[in-house]
Amino acid sequence: MSARGTTRRSLASPPAIRLTGVTVRAAGRILLHELDLSIAQGEKVVLWGPSGSGKSTLLKTIVGGMPSWEGEVWVGGERLAPRTVAAIRRRLAYIPQEPFAGAGTVEEALLFPFQFKARRQQRPPRERLEAELETLGMPAAFLAAPCASLSGGERQRLAIARALLLDADIVLADEITSALDPANRERVLAALMDRPHTVLAVAHDPAWRRRADRTVRLENGKLHGETIRA
């Protein structure tokens, strides 16, 4: 699927994500500088650039995780603001680079988001938990395993499975395959990039760029052009 094709299908709908003149400052530094970015619904975009360029800050800004910013952030046609942040977060699945698994079992960790009122009605059956784990190369027996016993790569895949269970419109992913071997990386890429949701992923791995509709480079808090895959 090309970005052009995605855009044509989404002309009648607002962008999944739109940033207009977004600037973020912290501790006297400008982390993001007047960013303009629009991502169509269903588009798969990879954000790359050197360490410290603001990539993780950009994802945190979209989920309302930064204390302040200038400009406008829109998610699915709704502007991010204190009164809308809860509703916007329900449309998002955010997977950080170092996810928190918890102290219980894998099953408890997968079901953690569904204990809250906003998602109780979405609680998936055990069969769905098993299916998502198996998609990511983890057998159903992992459900009973304590999270403390998991390796770094297994914890990462657990976080990805939990995000997929949310059936969110938009997935934000921050270097989520850095601890995975090539086979498991490919499983993750297939699970994320072959589904209809929108993806904005921070990744240095060329495998991500090959699967993306579009890549965007961020350096020193500024966007430096973009590449659309033919």
Instruction: Please state the domain extents for the chain.
Output: 3-96+165-228
**pLDDT class for 171, splitting at 50, 70, 90?**
very high
DSSP string, 157-191: HHHHHHHHHTT-SEEEEESTTTT--HHHHHHHHHH
- Domain 3-96+165-228: assigned CATH number: 3.40.50.300
Q: Chain-wide mean pLDDT for the chain?
A: 90
| pTM exceeds cut of 0.85 | yes
Residue 115 pLDDT grade (very low, low, confident, very high; cuts 50, 70, 90): confident
Q: Supply the DSSP string of 135-153, one letter for each residue.
A: HTT--GGGGGSBGGG--HH
